[in-house]
Amino acid sequence: MISAETLAVACGLGSAIVWGAGDFAGGFATRRANALTVIFFSQLIGGTLLLAAAALFASGIPTGQHMLFAGLAGIFGVMGLIGLYRGLASGRMGLVAPLSAIVTAIVPLLFSMVTEGYPGHLRLAGFATGMAAVWLLSSPGGKLTVKPGELKLSLFAGLGFGLFFIFMGAASDQVVLWPLVAARGSAILFMLFILLSTRQMTVPPRGQIGLIALAGILDTTGNAAFGMAAHFGRLDIAAVLASLYPASTVLLAWLILRERLGGRQWFGVSVAAVALVLIAA
Give the pLDDT mean for 260-264. 70
Cβ neighbourhood burial of 244 (10 Å; 0-12, 13-18, 19+): buried
Give the ranges where 172-205 is alpha helix by DSSP (H): 177-197
Tens of pLDDT, residue by residue over 156-186, are 988 999 999 999 988 887 778 889 999 999 9
Per-residue pLDDT at 54? 86
Q: How many CB atoms lie within 10 A of CB 163?
A: 21
User: How far is it, in rounded angstroms, from Cα 48 to Cα 61?
Assistant: 18
pLDDT tens by residue, 103-135: 888 898 889 888 888 888 888 888 888 888 877
Measured between alpha carbons, how far is 130 from 113 in angstroms, rounded to an integer? 17
Considering the chain, what percentage of its residues have pLDDT values greater than 70?
Answer: 90
Helices and strands (H, E) in the chain, number of each type: 11, 0
pLDDT for 139 beyond 80:
no
pTM, entire model: 0.83
- Would you place residue 4 in the very low, low, confident or very high pLDDT band (cuts 50, 70, 90)? confident
* pLDDT for the residue numbered 261: 65
d(C-alpha 4, C-alpha 92), whole Å? 38
Residue 117 DSSP class = -
Lowest mean pLDDT among 61-70, 139-148, 174-183: 139-148
Nearest to 160 by CA among 254, 271, 76: 76
Distance CA 81, CA 86 (A): 8
Residue 210 has pLDDT above 80, yes or no: yes
Q: Tell me what the pLDDT averaged over the chain comes to.
A: 83
Is the separation of the CB atoms in 247 and 20 below 8 Å?
yes
| Nearest alpha carbon to residue 240 among 9, 21, 71 | 9
- DSSP summary character for residue 146: P
Q: pLDDT at position 140, please?
A: 57
**Burial (CB count <10 Å: 0-12, 13-18, 19+), residue 124:** middle
User: What gap in Å lies between CA 237 and CA 91, rounded to an integer?
Assistant: 31
Give the model confidence (pLDDT) of 37-55 as tens digits.
888 898 899 899 888 888 8
Q: Using the CB atoms, write b or e for 31-46: b if 16+ within 10 Å.
A: eebbbbbbbbbbbbbb
How many degrees, rounded to 5, is the angle at CA 142 between CA 136 and CA 16?
A: 20
Using 50, 70 and 90 to split pLDDT, how confident is the model at 203? confident
- Mean pLDDT on 82-99: 71
Tell me which amino acid residue 152 is: K
